Amino acid sequence: MDIISSDEIIFLLSGGASNNNPLLSLGGVSSTIEVIGNINGLFPDVTPAQVISGMIDYRCFYVKNISSLYSLYKTRVYIQSQTGEGSEAILGTKRQDEVQRIRITGVITSGTADFDIGGQAFSGTWTGSADSFKDSLYSSLSSIDFYDVDIEYSLDAGDYFFNITFTDSLGNKSYPLITLVSNNLINAVDVIISKFTHGHPISNTTTTIASPQTFPSGITFEISDVDSPIQIGTLGPGESFPVWIRRTTISGTPPLLLDGAIIRISGNPFGNQ
C-alpha cells in the first residue's frame, strides 16, 4: 500500500520564502529553507548577560507535507525530550475550526443553489423549510468527502444564516471560500458567502513578531509530550502549519553544553481512524 513516508514531512523556517537565517525565523510566511536539525537550528546560544537577567525568546517554524498524493491524518506535534537543568522549551499554536456563512435574503419557497469549494461542486435544495436546505447542504457536502461539518441556521430580520463549521477530521484548517455558482432559489434576493471564523493553523500563516522577545499574539503555549501531544488534524498534500517555540531561561540558570529539545511530528498515514 502506498502511504506517506516520514521524509515527506519536513520542518521549514519562517520569516519569508527566501529566509535562511534562524535568527529571523520570527513568524510570517513559511520559508522554503529547512530547519537545520542541530543545537543552533533555531536559537542562538544564551549569553552570560542573558543568563544573569533571565530571558524569554521565541521562534517559529512550519511543518509541511511535501507529498503530492498522500495525507498525514491525526497529525500531532510534541516535545519528545529536552535537556534538563537548562533553558526550557514549550510549543505554541493557534487552533481554530473554520466557519463559513451562507446568508440568504428573501422569503424562499423552493429551488436549488449550486456552490463550489476548492473546485468541488455541491448544492442545497429548499423543499419548504430552512431545515430542508440545511440537510441538503450536509448531504451534498458529505458526497464530496466533507463529512465532518456541522451546519446551523438562524433567521434574523428576514435573512437566513447558515453557518458551516469544519470540525473533527476537517478541523483546525483554512479552506477556500465557498463560491456561489448559480442561484435558483425562488424569491431569493441575494446569496452572500463569507468567512465567519478563519481556520488555524493548517493552510494558514501566523503573525510576525517585532523581536525575538515579543510575545506572538493569539498563540497558546502548552506543555506537550508523546502522551499529551498537541492535536493538529489532517495535513493534506502540500499543506503546512506554523508552530511556535518559547524558550525560557531563568535567571541564574547554570551553563549547559548542548542544551536543546527534540520536537516530533506523529500521525496516522492510513486514514482518519
Same domain, 66 and 151: no
Same domain, 179 and 135: yes
d(CA 273, CA 270): 8
Q: State which of 154, 177, 197 marks the end of a domain.
A: 197
Same domain, 160 and 186: yes
d(CA 260, CA 35): 14
Residues in the chain predicted with pLDDT less than 70, given as ranges, are 1, 272-273
Same domain, 91 and 214: yes
Same domain, 63 and 137: no
Same domain, 117 and 178: yes
Same domain, 73 and 61: yes
Same domain, 193 and 209: no
The verdict on residue 273 lying in a domain is no
Same domain, 243 and 120: no
The verdict on residue 1 lying in a domain is no
Cell representation of residue 266 = 506523529
Q: pLDDT, tens digit, for every residue of 189-198?
A: 899 999 999 9
Same domain, 163 and 30: no
Cell representation of residue 191 = 446569496
The verdict on residue 168 lying in a domain is yes
Cell representation of residue 43 = 536559537
Q: pLDDT, tens digit, for every residue of 18-51?
A: 999 999 999 999 999 999 988 789 999 998 899 8
Range of the domain at 89: 6-95+201-268
pLDDT at residue 158 in the model: 87
135 CB contacts (<8 Å, ≥6 apart)? none
d(CA 55, CA 133): 55
Split into its structural domains, the chain has a count of: 2
pLDDT at residue 272 in the model: 55
Q: State which of 143, 175, 197 marks the end of a domain.
A: 197
Spatial contact of 95 and 199, defined as CB atoms under 8 Å apart = no
Q: State which of 197, 225, 257 marks the end of a domain.
A: 197
Helices (H) and strands (E) in the chain, counts: 2, 18
Q: What share of the chain is helix, strand, coil (3-state, %, to 5)?
A: 10, 45, 45
pLDDT at residue 271 in the model: 74
pLDDT at residue 260 in the model: 87
Q: Is the pTM of this model over 0.75?
A: yes
pLDDT at residue 1 in the model: 52
Same domain, 90 and 206: yes
Same domain, 90 and 136: no
Identify the residue whose cell numbers are 471564523. Answer: 197
